[in-house]
Every structure is written in structure tokens, then in C-alpha cells.
Amino acid sequence: MQTVDTLNKQGFDWNNSIMHNKSFSVLQMLAYEIGEKTFFDIYKYCLDNYQGINVTLEMFKKDCERISNRNLDEFFQTWFFTNDYLEYQIDTVVTTYNNNQYQNEIKINKIGQANISHVELEVVLEENKKERIKFDGRKKTESLKISTEKAISKIIIDPDLKLLLVNRTEWNKNN
């Protein structure tokens, strides 16, 4: 939320980096945060009610909060007024085998300062069977426990690429 003059002095292509890339990614994350149906209800409302009007961030935020029935102060503060970023790291994966089941504990560390309510994880098992787990994206560390019939071969954070992550994190059994 800097002025155009300030951005022009920065020496980078802010129009493509911020106006197009980051703005699209933040809107995609907003849809992820509040749900795609709710996001499209907001989108439709804005199209129907703001024809030809420049919508301010505050107007958009109020509509988002009213239609989603959620307080979005933290989301808007983080993604429009700070340099905070999202980054997670798969720290450890500990697996034991007992009674024909794999007991897996996946420890994830949050490295970035930004918050998102939930993050999806895809656990790929042997024979390419996949399971999805959500974890609280606000916690500094998260320990997920999952029982599986097959061994884990890969773990992917944000497999659908919905979040504006600094690094895409994967864990592979063979690494």
C-alpha cells in the first residue's frame, strides 16, 4: 500500500510483480481462506453493485467481512500492509509399523510470519494412493499423526498451489 511515486523509485517492475502477480495470489488465498463459494458471492456482489466505481480496499474488505460473516482484519493487514510471508518446512517424519498399520508423525515448522487459517498437506503413499490433511497455518509448529496402510513416499505442502508460499516444500522418502 505504497504510493505510485514511491513504487516507481524502487527500481523494479512493481506493476507486474505487485499489481498482477501478488494481487491475483492474494485474491486466490482469500478465496481459499473464506471458501470459493463465498468468494464468488462477494465477486458477484461487487460486479453487480460497483459498476464503473473504483472500489477501495476498505470497501472491498467490508463487503468480504459482511458476506463471509468473518473478521478479516488479520488477513487484510498481513497481505496488504506488511512484508510478512508464508513458509513452512517439513521438519521430521517418524514412522513405526504395528498391527499392519503405519503410524506416522509429521512435524511441520512455520518459518514465515504471515498467517493463514489452514494449510493442506498431501500425503502420497506407496502405489500412489493419496490422502489430504489440513493443519492450522497459524501455529509455529504442528505435529500431525496419521495412520496408513501403506508407507509414505512423499509429502507435499499446498499441493493445489493455493497459497503464496515463499518455497514449495516436499518431503521424499528417499531424500
pTM recorded for the entire structure: 0.78
> Mean pLDDT of residues grouped by 10 in the chain (175 residues)?
58 49 84 95 94 90 97 92 90 94 96 91 92 94 95 94 84 80
pLDDT of residue 98: 93
Predicted local confidence at residue 170, as pLDDT = 85
Q: How far apart are CA 109 and CA 141, in angstroms?
A: 5
pLDDT at 18: 47
pLDDT at 5: 64
What domains appear along the chain, each with residue ranges and CATH number? 4-81 (no CATH), 88-172 (2.60.40)
| Residue 8 to residues 15, 60, 72, 81, Cα–Cα distance (Å) | 9, 25, 30, 18
